[in-house]
């Protein structure tokens, strides 16, 4: 018999369309049009929506936190939806829309040409795609510093490794193989661009 709170969570998200739940590792994954965007944990009765760094301030403001599947385990990019959001249809719609956007970007990044560039991975590709940079040609055209700034301006909090990874991808090197002088030049260009 389905968990009462599971049914309630599905009903609250019905405005999105036909949300399908699938059992997974003691929890339920929620899918819309084949896109995995939420998790319901029957152990704590909580709904978690896909999230990223751009939502960290808002998560913190409402007392939300990222899903930690077990004690001592790393967090997953799914944020608990607290009652203040769950009970407010407009806020829930905004959170759900962002969860779907983030899930869509990550799915696109899986097969993107950016993610296949040496030294860039899916997470880096997703941030770049979110900033409107979708191909290696576009990255080459604007350069790593402008691309880094575009990612920052969206509210992502990338580490310098992203800057170096983009430079490495464009020059055919791994980020940790870039000469210290080149890293310093990139840092100076970034400081000047701010």
Boundary residue ending a domain (80, 107, 134): 107
Confidence (pLDDT) at 71: 81
Q: Write the DSSP symbol of residue 34.
A: T
125 & 53 share domain: no
Q: How many CA atoms lie within 13 A of 185 on its CB side?
A: 7
Q: DSSP assignment of 171-182, as one string?
A: HTS-GGGS-HHH
Residue-wise pLDDT tens digits, 163-180: 999 999 999 888 888 999
CATH number for position 14: 3.30.1460.30
13 & 101 share domain: yes
Boundary residue ending a domain (51, 86, 107): 107
pLDDT at position 70 over 80: no
102 & 148 share domain: no
pLDDT at position 1 over 50: no
In sign, the C-alpha dihedral spanning 56, 150, 96, 103 is: negative
- The answer for residues whose C-beta is within 8 angstroms of residue 13's C-beta and 6 or more apart is 19, 30, 38, 92, 96
Across the range 45-50, mean pLDDT stands at 92
88 & 26 share domain: yes
Q: Write the DSSP symbol of residue 26.
A: T
pTM greater than 0.85: no
75 & 138 share domain: no
116 & 89 share domain: no
Residue-wise pLDDT tens digits, 18-43: 999 999 888 999 999 888 999 999 88
Confidence (pLDDT) at 169: 92
21 & 103 share domain: yes
Dihedral angle, C-alpha 132, 81, 48, 15, nearest 10 °: -70
Range of the domain at 165: 111-193
Boundary residue ending a domain (107, 136, 171): 107
In sign, the C-alpha dihedral spanning 84, 86, 87, 89 is: positive
Cα(118)–Cα(182) distance, rounded to whole angstroms? 18
């Amino acid at each position: 018999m389905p968990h009462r709170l599971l049914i309630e969570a599905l009903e609250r998200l019905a405005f999105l369309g036909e949300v399908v739940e699938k059992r997974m590792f003691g929890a339920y994954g929620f899918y819309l049009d084949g896109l995995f965007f939420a998790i319901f944990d029957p152990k704590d009765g909580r709904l978690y929506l896909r999230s990223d760094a751009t939502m960290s301030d808002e998560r913190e403001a409402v007392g939300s936190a990222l899903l930690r599947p077990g004690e001592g385990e790393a967090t997953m990019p799914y944020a608990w939806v607290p009652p203040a959001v769950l009970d407010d249809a407009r806020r829930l719609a905004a959170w759900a829309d962002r969860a779907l956007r983030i899930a869509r970007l990550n799915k696109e990044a899986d097969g993107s040409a950016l993610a296949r560039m040496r030294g860039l991975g899916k997470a880096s590709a997703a941030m770049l795609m979110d900033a409107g940079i979708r191909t290696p040609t576009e990255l080459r055209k604007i350069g790593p510093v402008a691309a880094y700034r575009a990612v920052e301006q969206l509210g992502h909090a990338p580490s310098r490794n992203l800057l170096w990874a983009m430079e490495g991808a464009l020059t055919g090197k791994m980020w940790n193989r870039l000469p210290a002088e080149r890293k310093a030049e990139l840092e100076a260009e970034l400081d000047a661009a701010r």
